[in-house]
Amino acid sequence: MHEMGIAAQIIEIVKSSIPDNITDPCVECVNVRAGKLSAIVTDSLHFCFEIASKETLLEGAILNIEEVPVRASCKSCQHEWIINDAVFICPDCGAKVMDILSGRELDVVSIELAD
């Protein structure tokens, strides 16, 4: 389950992002964008985040995961579309050569701290 490693990385990113001048910070929410091609099982990531954040400044924080669709652009006809199935063929011209525009990302977008 690679979600445990990802949860640990998210926690480290958040901890390192909090300015030093904030004393005793309490993280309420972490917002993450995860592409469909990142192979993240969101329920598993939520579970692992809850376990990994115990006894840290993120304990009890909500993990919001925005799933990013796979967007592609055909190199032959420049048609852009969202790929919903495991079919990587341009729906307009049938070409199999494309650029993947989104769907691979895994980013911590923002954190929310208690006042």
The Cβ-side half-sphere exposure at 94, using a 13 Å CA radius, reads 0
Across 6-10, 18-22, 55-59, least confident range = 18-22
| Cα(79)–Cα(11) distance, integer angstroms | 38
- Strand, helix or coil for residue 25: coil
pLDDT mean over 90-103: 95
35-81 per-position pLDDT tens digit: 999 989 999 999 999 999 999 999 999 999 999 999 999 999 999 99
Instruction: Determine contact, residues 90/74, Cβ cutoff 8 Å.
Output: yes
Closest CA to 1 of 35, 34, 47: 47
Pairing state of beta strands 106-113 and 27-35? Answer: antiparallel
Model confidence at 32: pLDDT above 90: yes
Q: What is the pTM of this model?
A: 0.84
